Structures are given as C-alpha cells and as structure tokens.
Amino acid sequence: MNLPYLTTDLPGIGGQLKTEPEDFFVEEIPLYPPAGQGQHVYVEIEKRGLSTYVAIKMIARALNISPGDIGHAGLKDAQAVTRQTLSIDRVTPEAVAALNIPHIKILRVNRHYNKLKIGHLAGNRFVIRVRQVTPEVLPRAEAIVAMLMQKGVPNFFGEQRFGHRENTHLLGETLVRRDAAEFVAQYLGRPQPHEAPHIQAARQLIDEGHWNEALAQWPSNLPDERRVLAAILRAGGQPEVAFDALEVKLKSFFVSAFQSQLFNELLVNRLDTLDRLENGDVAYIHGRGAAFVVGNAAAEQPRADRFEISPSGPLFGPKTLMAEGEPGQRERAILAAKGLTIEDFKVPGLKLEGARRPFRINLKQAKMEWDEGLLISFELQPGAYATTVMAEIMKNHDKERAGP
C-alpha cells in the first residue's frame, strides 16, 4: 500500500529501518500512575521481538490464567524493543514479579483499580535508528520534520493494521457484509507466494474444498485459523459457522482494519488541505478527544493553526458523527461505492459504535543526532504510527510501515 507523502516536494533520506530490534524502541507514556491498590496488577514489561498479543498469551500461560484477564492500552510491534504496561486480574503482584519468560523483562509491578483498555495512555515515545545513510542526510531530515511539525503528520493507519497477508481489511469487510463464504476463502484459503510451502499447501486444500485433508495438514502455529476450520468441518463444510468460531478480539480487529482502510482512502483525498478546515467538517478536539461539526471554517481556523483542533475522518459505525456539506458527501460516497451504509456496521457479537479520528497528528519533542546511523526521537499521541513519520523522512515506498 503505497500511501502518498505530505512532504512529497522534499527529497527523502533513504536508508533502512529495523536492521536490529534495538533500532526501533518505543515506550508508552502512561495516562495515569497506578494507585498502589486495587484489584488489578499493573506490570510494566520490556519485550523484544514479540507482538503484544504473543506476549500476553505467553504471560497468561505462565500464570495459568486466560489472556482475557490481561488488559493493554496499545499494541506494540514485534520487530522492536518496546515497553508497555499490562493490567492483570486474578493474580498477585508477587506472582507477576517472579515471572521468567524469554524476551520479556519485568520492570515494575504495582496495583490499580481498573483494567487497562485500548487508548488508556497519553502517548508513545520513540527512538528510531535509520541505517545505511550518511551524516550528510541530516539537513534533509530536518527540513521534512520542520514541515511535519508545522502542518501535522498524516494520521494514516500503518500496514501493520492490515496483517502479514495484507487482507485483514478484506476480512473485516466480509464480516460487515455477513459474507461467510468469502470470509472463509480469505481467512483459510488463497495461498500467497510469501507463505511457507506447507501453509500454501494447506490453504490450497481449502480452495479445493478438501476440509479433512486441510485440517490434517494445518500448521500448529496458526491456532485461530485451525479452530475455525475445525468448526466448519464439524458443521459438514458450512462456512456460516466460521463467524461464531472466531474469537471476538479477532472479529473486532478485522472490522477495525476495514474501518482503517476506508479512513486511509478519505485521508489520501484530504492530504493537500490536511491543516485547513472546511465548512461541514467534523473537527477533532485534541485535548479532549471530543468532536464537533464546523459551521464556520474561517472562524475556527485559528484554533487549527494552534493545533487545538484538526479535520477528522470517520471510523464508520452506527453511531458515527458524520460530517456535513462537501466533507459529508465524500464520507457517504465512499460507503455508497461499496454498497454499504453505517447501519451495516452493526456486526453481530461486536459492540461497535464508530468514532472520529483526526486526519493529522502533532509531532512532539522531535530530535535528531548521528549515532551509528541517523537517530531520531519523538513523541506521538496514542494510536499514531511512528513509521508514518519515518516514511515521510525516508520516502522508501517499498519499506514496511509498521505500527507502534
């Protein structure tokens, strides 16, 4: 997914990201400190080479609890060194402090009253090293960062949101459409060239309708897919059971990816006026997370210039606050092109309401120096993708744009 650049007139520096996990460091900035008492154990971990979901499953297994008892405020990339806080129910601080799990270091343990949920953080702090560049690229990087700090960083969803097979948004669309047959084809079938030969073979059996043979060959490292396949087999090959066999978290993730893809499409068309309000826009209030419909864009523009508010796009849902005027027409047109309405996002089993997401993000505390490569540090708000910043700086369309 080659997303356009805001700084397209400024040459990038090239280079390579994530040569080593240590080249990409991210640390959560907590929204609040733990109270020191309460039902939930708050643990700050440092993980290396593990996704958040994998780390949670490993911790749950070690504590003999369900992964559902563990809360998190954000998802962190696997190919990185990351620090984040988890909340854990049904355990003691002593049990958590005693954990000894490969690639997971326990940093701090405390107690708090509530379970952590997505968004319960003030932001993320990044330190990223770009290798295979020379010190002469520093002025180019500084010019790009100056423009990003002035206008804002395009708040694209990164490619991590769309999965290793780059089809999580398509899976989400099948859920919204209630198209079980297409979901099964996307989720279990259609082998891709980059997948291992034994995975391709198993997926090919799905495409051919050989359910028993596919289950016998299904890789053990794909347990979620295996669970869905087993349910279909028990139902005599009926794809409709796939939705019930799918974990709620995965359903939510897939639908979220579809919302993200629609948001990205709208943002692409808004890139040239990223920092300018239009009549009918839904303005996002950065300090509060609230939003309102803009009646007089000229009167509100000074607030946008101060980065108090920004134009926003929809994460479509049945209760999404829709824009009016020309911005509203664009939002409804992107759904109409797919034959959908916001009511179609009432997906069974999900409490999906919809939301607004700012089209731009504020780049804070940006600093650069030379240290075995170009070392860049900065802070971003929750949910923003650091490698969207890096994509603008490097302009390597073929490099991965991963998440925080």
What residues are labeled active site? Answer: 77
Q: Which two tokens stand for residue 131?
A: 């290798």
Q: How far apart are the first and last CA of the chain?
A: 18
Look up residue 20 and give its DSSP letter.
S
Q: Which two tokens stand for residue 43?
A: 């643990």
What is the sign of the dihedral through the CA atoms of 386, 389, 390 and 395? positive
What does 231-273 look like in DSSP terms, one character per residue?
HHHHTTS-GGGHHHHS-HHHHHHHHHHHHHHHHHHHHHHHGGG
What does 286-328 look like in DSSP terms, one character per residue?
TTTTEEEE-S-HHHHHHHHHTTSEEEEEEE--TT-----HHHH
Look up residue 216 and give its DSSP letter.
H
Reported for 342-349, long-range contacts at CB under 8 A and 24+ positions apart, including other chains, are: 342/316, 342/317, 342/318, 343/318, 344/176, 344/177, 345/176, 345/255, 345/259, 345/316, 345/317, 345/318, 346/318, 347/175, 347/176, 347/251, 347/255, 348/243, 349/243, 349/248, 349/251
Look up residue 156 and give its DSSP letter.
P
CB atoms within 10 A of CB 237: 12
Instruction: Give the separation between CA 59 and CA 100, rounded to whole angstroms.
Output: 9
Residue that the structure tokens 């708050």 belong to? 42
CB atoms within 10 A of CB 227: 15
CB 183 within 8 A of CB 175: yes
CB burial readout 115-124, b (16+ within 10 A) else e: bbeeebbebb
Residue type, 283: A
Residues β-bridged to residue 290: 285
